[in-house]
Structure 1
Amino acid sequence: MEQRSTRPRYRGRILGLALVVVLAGGAAAWYGWRTQGGPAELPCPTPQADRGTAHCLTAVTLPGAKLPVTATIGLSADGTIAFVQLDADRNKPVALRGISTQDGRELWRLPIPMSTEAQGVVFAPSSKQVAVWDKGRSVRVMSVPDGKVLSDVTTETFSAFDVSFSPEGDAIVAHHRRYKLSDPAASPSSEPGFRADGRCNIVVGQSNIDAVLSRDRSLVVKMTTSGRFSRGTDFCEAKTVLILDGPEMGFLSFAPGDRRLAVAYNIAGRSRSDWRTLVEIYDTEGRSGSAARLSRIVLDGDVGYRLGWSPDGTQLAVIKIKDQIATAQVYAVP
């Protein structure tokens, strides 16, 4: 009778056990962070302790705000924060609100007739235009504060979270396509850096799954929390893959220019009012397979996907919900 070697089988079991131990160790560390309370949220504003700390610049409450948990927010160069306002009765997106982060005043409120749930908001570099998009393929670009509709773009694929303005502000970039705002009927052009067939299975810029691709297409960030690793063909020909570990993954967001990456985790409590959020900021300027963690921001409340970068990537805005009160906070990022 032929006898087959059992070494490959045992080797596979050993490797699998090692992976389980690594993931369990990480989970245990994060469980300790949760059960022991972890560091407390610092008051806002906070003085800058050192060059490697993200410190809070301003905090304003948002009276009457009703926001989706799974939609991003926008932060303009002039300090305006924008978010989707939901209808109190039907829980549908009805308006885009612009709030001053200096004094909390509502600067403008623009109607957004959207047929599906809102997905995200982003400002143009000039702060004079804003784009809002839904979970389908519709992107609306408006001027602010007057709300004039500049363009309604229908993307070729579901836009997810990866809608952004071009550096010049004259086009919307969604996944691997560029849409000129001056001629929305024109065929979109392909963004450089993608595979020859124009396809890519990793979300660009921002992601609520376990992988995200930098906007310059050179770096893929993968989370190990799910225990799954995509095939090499899923990396969109990125030159480098960065592996990060952490707790239950929440949201990944590259800053404009891809110099920084924010990773937001929800830390669940006994009840919704006990939820906390941890935001870690990594240095990805070198596009290497390792990244230094620059800062850790602890927030007493639920943030979800409500993050937004300033156009130059030096400030990060968050909106947290605590006891049904929404608070917008802006951090200076090292």
Structure 2
Amino acid sequence: MRNRRKLVFGLVAAVLISLALGFIYQEISPEVAEEDKLPSFVLAEEPGRVIGRVELSGLASVDFPTAASIYRAEKLDLTFTQADAVGWAKNFGSLSSSGEVDTPLGKIYVFAKKGEELTVTGNPRALRYTRESAGGTGTISDSTTAIQKAKEFLAAKKLPDPSSFLPTVKYLSAIGERTAETTAAEAAFVEVNFSWSVGGYDLLGESPSDMAIRVILDRDTRVVYLNYQFPDYSFSTGQEVPLLSFSQASDALGREAQIVLVRPVGDIGKWSISDSSNLSSFSPEAARLVYVMQPGGELLYPVYLFEGPGRALGNDVWSAAYVLAVSPQYIKEE
């Protein structure tokens, strides 16, 4: 009888503890209403994956925020006309019109002269300028000089001042289809990127190279590449959502990382072009919180950007990976 009473008391205690734990869990992880959930975070281009080892020993811990706002982007009704395009071409020197290209969104106007080309996209508004260069014969600029030279070039072409944008600098041994990163001592080109900022964080696109402004200079500080995307959006803040912690985001690298940038490092003579951006290993050295705007989407998603060396197709590469920062219970299952 006494043993039966102990058994009953034990079962009742177990049930009460289970109910208490369930209540605590619900308080910590409340159920999210379906209308409050966000659509899945999907990139237009199929990202790569880490199919091998992720090494975190070189990644310093980062104090990420516990929550962030979801921003909504609204496309502004702004378009470059043919007259606008001609005006921009004059700012770039004696470039002659070489045709127009019709797209579903509007026209792309093309101007050129020997060794140089400028394209003006009507909608969304953008400029793209290229100039032939073998790298030059001078000394590659340090980061401070490169940023200043990039700003001077933009000012000379009467483009909006990017001083409020956040610049980053990378050194390249080659550009174009075989763009490769290297050290300043071995570089033929220096790349300066300016990104928009939303809520105090960089706003990126499909990859970290999808910046608002991208400028590449050769050793003689001549601009050989410019991609300038105009800020044709307004942003409004929406709901606030909890974010993954640093340890949770790091743990997700092997399972959920979306590899969005793979650049060969050093000698690219051995680099073979491939449609695959999968990594056999990844050793991130830096992590930061950014916002990512999907092409054609209305929402800006908080995303953790991990950057560092890796291996792909037997080559050393510099890679970047996106990990969605939003807690899973706030994402719709599709």
Q: After TM superposition, is the score higher than 0.5?
A: no
TM-score when normalising by structure 1? 0.24
TM-score when normalising by structure 2? 0.24
